Amino acid sequence: MINEKRLIDLFISFVETSSESGKEGKFRDLLITEFARRGINAKEDKAGEILGGDSGNLLVYIPGTINATPLLFSAHLDTVKPGEDIKAVVQEGLIKSVGPTILGADDKAAIAAIIEAYDVLIENNLDYPPLELLFTVSEEQGLKGAKAFDYSKIQAKMGYVLDGGGSPGNIILKSPAQNEIKFHIYGKAAHAGINPEDGINAINLAAKALASLPFGRIDEETTINFGLISGGKASNIVADYCYLLGEVRSLDKIKLDNITDKMVSTFTNSVTEQGGRVEAKVTLLYPEINLNPKDEVVTIVTHAAQNIGLTPILTNTGGGSDASIINGQGINCANLGIGMQNVHTIDEFISIEDLVNDTKLILAIIAEYIRHKGA
């Protein structure tokens, strides 16, 4: 039923339309046109204005052939850099970039599969429930588009984000909550060559305090990292200010908060004891996902995968996705593997087999959803 050539051509047209985070406008226009060709209206929200980008999120509502609660599918419009002027090629069953750019299978493989699945439904007169398709912006910048979306516009009670690692059949049950930590460290300026003893170097304060904190993988559920540091004005001035940006992730929210609190107090005490001052800000970037294998949203996709000959793999991840935000809005949502490989690098690729299986899995989920609901 799947038109493989049409699917590949659609996917290539998508990845060759640039949409780096904050600059998704051209790809948004292409998607609006694709849905309009099918008689479907894609509605854009105000997320672009809120986030300072050139596109908002797109919400597509497709009335079903049966009476049922809508089913949600979601993917993101944006890509990481370098994502301008991508040229894709098919070689030995793989689709990859021919230039020094990413491919953009993350996450345009999902979007191509969703549209091809809809075409198959229509061409074969298959039944389907009402479908809600959410395409977000700036996912790669911290799930910003999903955070800015108004979820009162969604009627679905369950859904699937197609943005996971691993082959089709991978079902992510758990992903971490993440706290962002910002430290502003204040010392005292002085001339570095004439009277350095009169100054308090904020960079030195930060370095000593940072050395007292744990880094990397703490346990199987928890990671800690500081990835940005800046401060000072010149090499001949004792730095009176330093800034640090870090994160803590954990599958266990209580553990996350306990570790974060301990890190902030340890860091603050160290800086204070050295004669400096620190301002700390902790922000929860997204909540954890903790699905059970017996949850309806999991059993449906598990059976769907089995029905098309895929092996369901229930797994966890250390990364966040739009599924984290959607779940936080009370919509049961699983993130699914789609077969994209070497993402965020110029060696990114996806196999045609996985692209086709993505489409098959979407169709199987829809069919299993109907059976499960008895519609």
Query: What is the rounded average pLDDT of the residues 147-173?
Result: 97
Q: Are 315 and 336 in contact (CB under 8 A)?
A: no
Distance CA(205)–CA(189), nearest Å, equals 13
Query: Which residues share a beta bridge with 315?
Result: 172
Which helix (H) or strand (E) covers residue 222, if one does? strand 222-231
Mean pLDDT on 195-202: 98
pLDDT at 17: 98
The pLDDT score that the predictor gives to residue 245 is: 98
Neighbours of 355 (CB within 10 A): 26
Average pLDDT for 243-266:
97
Q: What is the pLDDT of residues 60-110, one digit of tens each?
A: 999 999 999 999 999 999 999 999 999 999 999 999 999 999 999 999 999
**d(C-alpha 288, C-alpha 291), whole Å:** 10
Residues 144-169, mean pLDDT to the nearest whole number: 97
The answer to whether residues 362 and 117 touch, using CB atoms and an 8 Å cutoff, is yes
Q: Would you call 49 exposed, middle or buried from its count of C-beta atoms within 10 A (0-12, 13-18, 19+)? A: exposed
Distance CA 288, CA 268 (A): 27
What is the average pLDDT value for the chain, to the nearest integer? 97
Q: 230-246: per-residue pLDDT in tens?
A: 999 999 999 999 999 99
Question: CA separation (Å) from 350 to 165, 220, 256?
Answer: 11, 29, 34
Query: Distance between CA atoms of 171 and 335, rounded to whole angstroms?
Result: 6
Structure tokens at 274: 């050295």
Predicted pLDDT at 198: 97
pTM of this structure: 0.92
- Annotated catalytic residues are 78, 139
pLDDT confidence of residue 91: 96
Model confidence band, residue 133 (pLDDT cutoffs 50, 70, 90): very high
Convert the pLDDT of each residue in 284-332 to its tens digit: 999 999 999 999 999 999 999 999 999 999 999 998 899 999 999 999 9
User: What is the Cα–Cα distance from 56 to 138, expressed in whole angstroms?
Assistant: 9
> What is the reported pLDDT for 309?
98
Band (274; pLDDT cuts 50, 70, 90):
very high
How far apart are the C-alpha atoms of 223 and 249, rounded to whole Å? 5
Beta strand 94-97 with 277-286: parallel, antiparallel or unpaired?
unpaired
User: Is residue 153 a contact partner of residue 30, using CB atoms and an 8 Å limit?
Assistant: no
Per residue in 208-217, pLDDT tens? 999 999 999 9
Q: Kindly tell me if the per-residue pLDDT of 342 is higher than 90.
A: yes
What would the mean pLDDT of 334-355 be, rounded to a whole number?
97
| Count of Cβ atoms closer than 10 Å to residue 62 Cβ | 21
pLDDT-derived band of residue 373, with 50, 70 and 90 as boundaries? confident
Q: Is 338 helix (H, G, I), strand (E, B) or coil?
A: coil
Kindly report the number of other CB atoms within 10 A of residue 306's CB atom: 14
In terms of Cβ atoms closer than 10 Å to its own Cβ (0-12, 13-18, 19+), residue 275 is: exposed
Predicted confidence band of residue 375 (pLDDT cuts 50, 70, 90): low
pLDDT above 80 (res 257): yes
